[in-house]
Amino acid sequence: MKYWQPMHELAICQALIDQVLAVSKTEHASSVTDVYVSIGALSGVEFQLMRNAFPIVATDTLASEATLHLQQMPVRVRCEDCGAETEVSANHLICGRCGDWRTQLISGDELLLQRVVLQTNPAGGGSQCVKPAAAI
């Protein structure tokens, strides 16, 4: 589990934009219109800071006009006692079935680049959706 420092969002957005630009280069895109990112509730990443940081790192790139879409991912744990996998709240990591606190985190601290929408035709004709689903 990682806890980011404040304004680490800028570094995250830099890593994000690097991936987005790599995808758009592979697909020979002329611009990026939308970027979809999933953020685990335990990642410690602030949505608002991400929204603030994204335009800064996107300036003068193919993604300068792109819209950043952020989605929160639920926290899921696996119980070491009963084996159930349940969705839990971020500050209450106990088994949703039996209430045991000995649980393993399955998901909830990740950052994922889910989808990138690219403009592949400068005239505005073609857009393309790429799904790298890669960790940032």
Q: Which residues bind Zn ion (CB under 5 A)?
A: 79, 81-82, 84, 95, 97-98, 100
Min CB(20)–Zn ion separation in Å: 39
Least Å distance, CB 84 to Zn ion, is: 5
d(CA 17, CA 12): 9
* Nearer CB in complex with Zn ion: 39/79: 79
Q: Which is nearer to Zn ion, 84 or 105 (CB)?
A: 84
**DSSP-derived secondary structure for the chain:** ---PPTTHHHHHHHHHHHHHHHHHHHTT-SEEEEEEEEEETTS---HHHHHHHHHHHHTTSTTTTPEEEEEEEPEEEEETTT--EEEEBTTB-S-TTT--S-EEEEESS-EEEEEEEEE--TTS--EEEE---EE-
We find the least distance from the C-beta atom of residue 42 to Zn ion, in angstroms, to be: 19
Beta carbon nearer to Zn ion, 58 or 95: 95
Nearer to Zn ion, 55 or 96 (CB): 96
The minimum distance between CB 104 and Zn ion, in angstroms, equals: 11
